[in-house]
Every structure is written in structure tokens, then in C-alpha cells.
């Protein structure tokens, strides 16, 4: 373990060194791809690190390949075996929380490569690398249009420890989701509205979290058109959003179970004390017990999660109002994806790639908080994928949440977002 973390520190130092090239404008797509290959190939052929979700992907693909509905059955329906033993215990009985595009890919991978667990792990990593390639292609162009530095965008979103460990080492499908979202943003800034909505919707068929981007882009598109053109173009916009959803659902053959409440609630099944909402809920619960107020833990935590979800909706509405131009939509989308994670019931490091990737193409790309998050957040979990923060650590997280709320109230960072409702 000491050798492993020493190697991780060496990688962080190397990444900071490459950052000097990025700041000089000497990174570029070609050199970025070369560094990614040098650092990524060892991770590509190694066992999965920092997460065992790739085994869940394999199990869900095998369920679909055997004719079982992955939106109804968990990996436990496969019976005992090496694959079920590889799936993290909390997810063995839960259905797949992913969209039909990704489940279709998982089914194909299981059908073609299912006889070799090592080969199938590599296949899922290659699927994630497809999303990384989309980022390498799109991010420099997006950064230029947003007035940011293209090389720093690549450095943050593609080469950072957060990206390497989440996309390559873990093989998370978040890479494909954010890659498709980057394509959608590129098309939006290029004036191809319908195609932009289509790719954003396609990202949602990988992970439903991307539909928050669909809503934000749809609001922006609606407000940017004149009243006379809105209703004339509305059928085309609706078709662009619906086509990927209907098409991938029908082609996958798994039905519409991926949009049911049971499936959408899967990420919150595991109580993570370092996620803001559960941390605050657990702190309040124990604080009430100290003063003699005895309420059920589930009641207090659920109330805290509901409060955070409501706050997230308010922030989403404010960010939508602030997306008044093509620069504003990128900034608002980045903070919306961050709010979606921080206000949710669960927080895993790879969730933060959603916002880091988008904020990397904005004027916030030089933020120390953004750079620090790209370095430190991967290590919130151990190499085997288990959370580092446990037990009473939720008190520390709750304290950080309170400190962050006080800072936000006093500094009012939303003014920089040019949100019309508050500015």
C-alpha cells in the first residue's frame, strides 16, 4: 500500500509538472494524447482501481444477455460465481441505474467478450476512452469560444488524477457521458441547436444525470429565440431530444424501466457519511440525541436529503435564469452539474468529473479549488473502492458544509455567474 500511494504521489507531481507546459500553451492535443498514453496504458492493463463498478457493468450486461431485465434484477440473480463475487456487496441486489445506450453496450460486451473477465474489463475501459477522445477533440474548441486556455482545459479534464483514475483505472461510464455532453456543447456554441439537444439527450441514455444538461440547454434555446420562431421550431427540438431516448430504448430491448423511481433512487441506497446531505443529517441526528430528542435516524437523514434536494432545485432555477448567452450557458451548466452532485444523496469522486470537465473550459479553470479537487478527490476512496471517511468523520464534513455555506453567504459567488435574479 505504501508503494501504491508513493506511485500516486509521483503521478500527481508529474501532472503538476505537465501543468507548466499547459500554462505556456505548449501542451496541445497531440502532446496531451501522448501523455495520456504514457500514463494510461499501465492503468489500462492493471486491475480496476478506486472502484469495482466495472464488475457491476459486466453483471448488468450478462443479465441482459441472458434475457433478464437489468432494471428489475440485481447481479445476485446471476447466482454465485466469480463475477458476483467481484461486484461490491451493496450493489449485488440493486438494479442497473444506467440508460439503455450503456446497457446495450454492456450486453454486447458480455456477448462477445464475456468468457474473459480481464478482456471484458479492458473493453469497458476502451468505452470510457471513447469519451476521453471526444473530450480531447471538443475541449480546446470550447475553451477558445469561452475565452479560456485550451491547454489548461485538457490538463484539468483529461490528464488530472481525477480523470485518469475515474476514466481509465476505474473505467467509469461517466467518461462517455461527459464526452457526449462536450459534443453537445460544441454543437450548441456552433449554432446547431437541434443536434446539440440530441447529443445532450444521448448522454442521458448513458447516465440520467445528463438530462439536467438537457433541461438547461432547452431553457437557454427557448429563451434565445424570438417568440415567433419558438413554436415553429419546437417540434424539431422535441424530436431531437426524444429520438435518442426512444431509439436507444427500443434498440436495447430492455424497456422503459430505466426511468422508473426505483431505478432512479439506486445511487442513494448506500449511506455515505462524507456526502454533504447525509453528513448534515447524521450530525443533526446525533446532536438531537445528545439533548434528549429521539428521532429515527432514517427520518432525520431523509429530511436533510430532501432539504438539500430542494436547495439544489432552487440553485438550478437560478442558474437557468443566468444562462442568457452562449458563454453563460457553459458556466451555468458546470455549476449545475456541481450542484447536482453536492445536493444529491450520494457522492463518489467520479461524479465530480461532470463539473470539473465543464468548468475547465471556463474562466474558473485556474481556480485553486478546481485544481485541488482534481488532485485530492480521487483519494476519498481506497484503491479497492471503499470510502476512506468512515465513522464519525461525517461531523468534519458537516462542519465543512456549514463553513462553505457561511462563505457563500458572505462572498456571494453567484454574482460572478451573472445570475439575473440575484445580480
pLDDT single digits (tens) 131-148: 999 999 999 999 998 889
Q: What is the pTM of this model?
A: 0.91
Q: Write the DSSP symbol of residue 384.
A: T
Q: Is there a contact between 324 and 419 (Cβ–Cβ < 8 Å)?
A: no
Average pLDDT rounded to a whole number, residues 8-23? 93
pLDDT in tens, 279-326: 898 889 888 888 888 888 889 988 988 999 898 888 888 887 766 666
Cβ-in-10-Å burial (0-12, 13-18, 19+) of 283 comes to: buried
| DSSP category for residue 69 | -
pLDDT at residue 327, rounded to an integer: 67
Cell of 333: 451548466
Q: Is residue 413's pLDDT more than 70?
A: no
Q: Which residues contact 201 (CB under 8 A, 6 or more apart)?
A: 211, 214, 240, 241, 242, 243, 244, 245
Q: Of 233, 203, 251, 170, which is closest to residue 98 (Cα–Cα)? A: 203
Phi-psi region of 74 (alpha: psi -120 to 50; beta: other; left: phi over 0): beta
Residue listed under C-alpha cell 485530492: 376
Share of the chain above pLDDT 90, in %: 51
Average predicted confidence (pLDDT) for the chain: 88
Average pLDDT over residues 373-393: 86
Mean pLDDT across 346-359: 92
In DSSP terms, 207 is beta-bridged to 98
Amino acid at each position: 500500500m505504501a508503494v501504491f500511494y508513493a506511485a500516486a504521489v509521483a503521478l500527481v507531481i508529474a501532472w503538476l509538472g505537465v501543468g507548466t507546459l499547459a500554462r505556456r500553451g505548449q501542451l496541445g492535443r497531440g502532446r496531451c494524447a501522448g501523455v495520456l498514453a504514457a500514463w494510461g496504458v499501465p492503468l489500462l492493463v492493471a486491475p480496476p482501481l478506486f472502484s469495482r463498478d466495472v464488475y457491476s457493468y459486466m453483471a448488468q450486461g450478462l443479465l441482459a444477455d441472458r434475457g433478464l431485465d437489468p432494471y428489475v434484477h440485481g447481479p445476485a440473480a446471476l447466482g454465485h460465481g466469480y463475477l458476483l463475487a467481484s461486484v461490491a456487496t451493496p450493489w449485488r441486489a440493486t438494479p442497473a441505474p444506467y440508460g439503455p445506450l450503456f446497457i446495450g453496450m454492456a450486453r454486447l460486451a458480455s456477448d462477445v467478450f464475456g468468457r474473459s473477465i480481464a478482456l471484458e474489463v479492458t473493453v469497458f475501459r476502451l468505452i470510457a476512452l471513447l469519451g476521453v477522445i471526444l473530450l480531447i477533440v471538443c475541449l480546446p474548441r470550447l475553451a477558445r469560444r469561452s475565452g479560456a486556455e485550451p491547454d489548461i482545459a485538457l490538463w484539468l479534464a483529461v490528464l488530472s488524477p481525477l480523470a485518469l483514475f475515474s476514466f481509465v483505472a476505474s473505467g467509469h461510464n461517466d467518461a462517455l457521458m461527459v464526452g457526449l455532453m462536450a459534443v453537445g456543447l460544441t454543437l450548441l456554441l456552433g449554432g446547431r441547436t437541434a443536434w446539440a439537444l440530441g447529443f445532450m439527450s444521448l448522454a442521458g441514455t448513458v447516465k440520467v444525470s445528463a438530462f439536467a444538461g438537457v433541461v438547461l440547454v432547452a431553457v437557454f434555446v427557448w429563451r434565445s429565440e424570438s417568440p415567433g420562431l419558438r413554436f415553429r421550431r419546437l417540434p424539431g427540438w422535441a424530436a431531437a431530444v426524444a429520438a435518442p431516448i426512444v431509439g436507444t430504448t427500443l434498440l436495447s430491448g430492455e424497456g422503459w424501466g430505466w426511468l422508473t423511481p426505483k431505478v432512479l433512487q439506486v445511487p442513494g441506497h448506500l449511506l455515505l457519511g462524507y456526502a454533504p446531505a447525509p453528513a448534515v443529517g447524521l450530525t443533526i441526528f446525533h446532536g438531537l440525541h445528545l439533548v434528549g430528542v429521539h428521532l429515527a435516524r432514517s427520518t432525520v437523514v431523509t429530511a436533510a436529503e430532501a432539504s438539500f434536494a430542494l436547495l439544489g432545485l432552487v440553485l438550478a432555477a437560478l442558474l437557468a435564469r443566468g444562462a442568457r448567452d452562449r458563454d453563460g450557458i457553459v458556466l451555468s451548466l458546470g455549476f449545475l452539474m456541481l450542484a447536482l452532485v453536492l445536493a444529491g444523496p450520494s457522492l463518489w469522486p467520479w461524479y465530480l468529473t461532470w463539473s470539473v470537465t465543464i468548468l475547465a473550459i471556463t474562466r474558473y479553470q485556474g481556480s485553486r479549488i478546481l485544481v485541488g479537487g482534481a488532485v485530492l478527490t480521487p483519494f476519498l476512496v481506497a484503491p479497492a473502492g471503499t470510502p476512506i471517511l468512515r465513522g464519525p468523520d461525517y461531523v468534519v464534513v458537516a462542519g465543512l458544509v456549514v463553513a462553505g455555506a457561511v462563505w457563500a453567504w458572505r462572498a456571494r459567488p453567484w454574482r460572478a455567474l451573472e445570475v439575473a435574479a440575484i445580480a
